[in-house]
Amino acid sequence: SFEPEEIDVLLNNEMFKMIEQRAYGNNLKRESLEETQKRTDDLRNLISSTTVSTFTTTSANKPNGKFVALPANYRHAMQEDCTISYTDCNNVTQSKVIEVVPTSLDRYNKIIRDPFNKPYDELIIRLAHGTIGGSEVFELITDGVYTLTNYNLRYIKTPVSMRYGTTYSTATTDVQCELAEHLHREIVEATAKTALETIASPRFQSNSQIATGTE
């Protein structure tokens, strides 16, 4: 009784649930991405990389902070670092790659005053932020001495929504699922359970079971 467009909505909902389960361990085994080979394999098709060399400042920046725009398909950060340039003791310009550490806003005030944790020439603090000019941004906090050259980010991207468009009432193009092929059956099974609960009496609580039942 479901229209093709409705089936696609249900399928995509389950796909995005599955991404969160695999990325953050919201599953029976409590295993997140990269904790086991299976978790890595589950989301391998969504892992992407980018290098950004443009940084902006506004009145909203913290001291020594610069905003960096994220890719339009950004979903979750996996690993990040920065290439910096600086002048050494011989007055020669050098460059190196240093660590970027995500930091919560509630810890920022403590860290920035801590001489053992605040930014220095081997560490950059990264804070969450909203959007600027329509793009999501991070804020990178440096020590104010060296210069940021590149921000290097490996991340989980937001997949395109799958679509069986050739069956729509107004036909359009098909869009394949971007997740690894071995997850396709799990997505379909989870979608069928959710659809059953939607149209019939709840014979089982699929919403609570799917998170721990699909592996």
Distances (CA, A) of 151 to 55, 102, 137, 200: 9, 13, 12, 51
For 78, half-sphere exposure in the C-beta direction (CA atoms, 13 angstrom radius) is: 19
| DSSP H helical ranges for 25-177 | 37-43, 105-112
| pLDDT, mean of residues 130-143 | 94
**pLDDT exceeding 90 applies to what percent of the chain?**
70
> In the chain, what percentage of residues exceed pLDDT 70?
87
Q: Around Cβ 165, how many Cβ atoms within 10 Å?
A: 15
pTM of the full predicted structure?
0.83
pLDDT of residue 201: 55
- CA dist 164 and 169 (Å) reads 11
Q: Which of 13-17, 30-34, 67-71 has the lowest mean pLDDT?
A: 30-34
pLDDT band at 150; cut points 50, 70, 90: very high
Average pLDDT, the chain: 88
